[in-house]
Structure 1
Amino acid sequence: MKSNSQPIKLFLVVAFSCVSLLVSLIPVLAKPTDDSSVSDAVRGASRREGGLRRSSDPKTTVAQATTFKQPPLPPGLPPGGRVRGGAKRGGCPLAKPDLTALMPSTKEANSVINVWGQTIGERPSWFFYVPYTKDLPYEVEFVLQDQDSNEIYQKAIALPDKPGVIRVSLPTTAPALALNKPYLWFFTINCDKEKNSPPTFLQGVIQRVQLNPATVKELQTTEPLKRYSIYAQNGIWYEALTILAQLRQKNPQDAALQAEWRNLLSSIRLDDIVAEPILSDKP
């Protein structure tokens, strides 16, 4: 027994050492090659593929790409204007959001606010957020004047059933807008029965312009959401807003259209109007 014990002990020592060595090597053997550039490239490719798949939806693609391009102010005197009604003006009660024109505006260095936008239509539509309802005895009016302050259209506006965005359009009986001429519009609410206070008002300038023939041809052969994108990218506010408002009314649960609406109003600093309902699409 003694003569065999030494070889057995030696065998066990050697075997144990081999097992220990193998165990110590397992984490090293199991660990992948330390090539961070390759793994990062693979992960990057995976992310890019995921991004491409997400953007393959045409509505999502337009929503990610569309940006309203505000054109420069027209030559001559700044148009001025008012995009918000103003707290307590004309005796109207405080409201949040305030009476608001869905119009782009710029603020100059001298704090002058310019409210203006372009259209290609002879008889465009305006959109206003109105916080007051028909149960209130307020007088509401829309007026359009030419550059010489001559009134060319006037209409009494009925207050809506609930607060929201309303649409006011020039009817076929109104004179068509002439090309490249500025027109001044007013949207007023008189909340003072005695009319001792001036009305709350919104004010801005609209100008009809022409697009180049290639863009006009493209607009004639594309679907509405793409037309919206073309108008927005060419600085044509009135048609861009009208198309998007109509699409949202027809598809109120469409996430891509909701994103477009949010993006458009946020681009002109009207984030507080994004969630308000569009009440009527009738001229």
Structure 2
Amino acid sequence: MNSNSQLIKRFLVVVLSCTSLVVSLTPVLAKPTIDSSHSDAYGGLRLRSDAKTTLAQTTTYNQPPIPPGPPPGGRVRGGAKRGPIGTLAACPPTNPDLTALVPFTEEDNSVINVWGQTTAERPSWFFYVPYTKDLPYTVEFALQDQDSNEVYRKAIALPDKPGVIRVSLPTTTPALAVDKQYRWFFTISCDKEKNSPPTFVEGVIQRVELNPATVKELQTTEPRKRYAVYAQKGIWYEALTTLAELRQKNPQDAALQAEWQNLLGSIRLNDIATKPLLLETPSSAQLKVLKAE
């Protein structure tokens, strides 16, 4: 009996040891392996190729602090405004309204600041326009320096359909000065007699210089990912323009469309993110360029 008991006891020890080994190996075999030596465009880790799964990443815009001095103020959305005699703007209401594709902050006192940075001498602006060229409305873009001197004024033709249009400064316009603030306006007048106020958006843009490390990073980053570097560094205008140009070259690229929606969603313009991107530059009805004094 003693020898049989010992044999049974040894058998049970072996069985339990094997069972423990199998249990301890199970989660290791089921857990995907993360490769810390490889990262995606946005700094996130991704699964190794043998796991055949990629972690979803999102590019967001990092809003830099507003520069010292008087707050920029501004208006990111258009809409009906009351005139001096209490009349509403002649422009019919739309959903969404005229919208500037720019970052904005809302302060505790309900003041909205529309402000962004650029590195370009002659940047581009993007606007969602809800009205079409079959309407007898006049549209105008204007730029002023920080002393309220007019730098540029351009009449814009309405697009064929509602969507996002691009307005760029031409080479004949004086380059934006570094560390100087400029105020821009995009205005739609729907009343030929101008008895009613227009609908408009406005904000402030400031040109900055990139530090050497960021310049090197951009030079070594593939074109499809450069916009993410701009966004992370708080350079809104180049982030949006770079991504828009990528979409222009690859209009059927679903990944780029998703990135466009992610970028606009990061500045709370989700309702504009799915609107058509009208990449052709609208024709000008009038062009006026004045040198800054």
| TM-score interval (norm. to shorter) | 0.7 to 0.9
**Letter in structure 1 aligned against 2:160:** D
> Which residue number in structure 2 is paired with residue 45 of structure 1?
32
Q: Matches of 2:91 and 2:248 in 1, distance apart?
A: 29
Shift of 1:44: 2.2
Cα distance in 2 between the residues matched to 1:173 and 1:232: 28
Describe the SS at the equivalent of 1:228: helix
Deviations 1:51-105 (A, max 9, x none): 4439999xx88x7253211101011111001010024762111212211000000
Distance 1:55 1:220 in 2: 31
Contact 1:87–1:98 (CA<8 Å) still a contact in 2? Answer: no
Deviation at residue 256 of structure 1 after TM alignment: 1.8
| 2:32 aligned counterpart, secondary structure | helix
Q: Show the counterpart of 1:15.
A: none
Q: Give the TM-score normalised by the residue count of structure 2.
A: 0.78
From the superposition, tell whether residues 144 and 54 of structure 1 become closer, same or farther in structure 2 (CA, over 3 Å): farther
Q: Which moved more, 1:187-196 or 1:203-212?
A: 187-196
Pairing 1:277–2:264 present: no
Distance in 1, Cα, partners of 2:31 & 2:154: 59
Query: How far has the Cα of 1:33 moved from its partner?
Result: 4.0
Aligned to 1:79: 72
C-alpha separation in 2, matches of 1:135 and 1:157:
14
Number of residue-to-residue matches in the alignment: 249
Equivalents in 2 of 1:103, 1:68: separation in Å?
A: 11
1:110-259 correspondence to structure 2 within 5 Å:
110-259=109-258
User: TM-score under structure 1 normalisation?
Assistant: 0.81
For 1:10, the equivalent position in structure 2 comes to none
Residues 250-282 of structure 1 deviation map (CA, whole Å, 9 limit, x = unaligned): 212212212211110000011111111111243
Determine the C-alpha separation between the residues in 2 that align with 1:155 and 1:90.
22
CA contact (8 A) 1:141 1:188 kept: yes
Change (3 A) 1:158 1:55: farther
RMSD, aligned CA: 2.6
- Is it true that 1:91 corresponds to 2:84 in the alignment? no
Helix, strand or coil for the counterpart of 2:117?
strand
Give the secondary-structure state (helix, strand or coil) at the position aligned to 1:210: coil
Higher Rg = 1
Aligned amino acid, residue 181 of structure 1: K
Q: CA deviation at 1:187?
A: 0.2
SS in 2 for 1:64: coil
Specify whether residues 196 and 226 from structure 1 end up closer, same or farther in structure 2 by C-alpha distance, changes over 3 A only: same
Asked if the contact 1:246–1:281 (Cα under 8 Å) also holds between the matched residues in 2, the reply is: no
1:107 maps to 106
Shift of 1:218: 2.9
Counting aligned pairs with the same residue, the percent is 71
In the alignment, structure 1 segments of 5+ residues that lack a partner are: 1-28
Secondary structure of 1:94's partner?
coil
Shift, 1:214, TM fit: 2.4
Cα separation, 2, equivalents of 1:183 and 1:204: 8
Q: Which structure has greater helix proportion?
A: 1
Q: Using a 3 Å threshold, how does the CA distance of structure 1 residues 260 and 55 change in structure 2: closer, same or farther?
A: farther
After superposition, the Cα gap between the structure-2 partners of 1:75 and 1:256, relative to the gap in structure 1 and judged at 3 Å, is same
8 A Cα contact 2:32 2:47, kept in partner: no
Q: More displaced, 134-143 or 33-42?
A: 33-42
Alpha carbons of structure 1 residues 91 and 176: separation in structure 2 relative to 1, 3 Å: same
Task: Summarize the Cα distance change of 1:90–1:42 in structure 2 as closer, same or farther, 3 Å threshold.
Answer: same
Unaligned runs of 5+ in 2: 1-14, 36-45, 82-87, 283-293
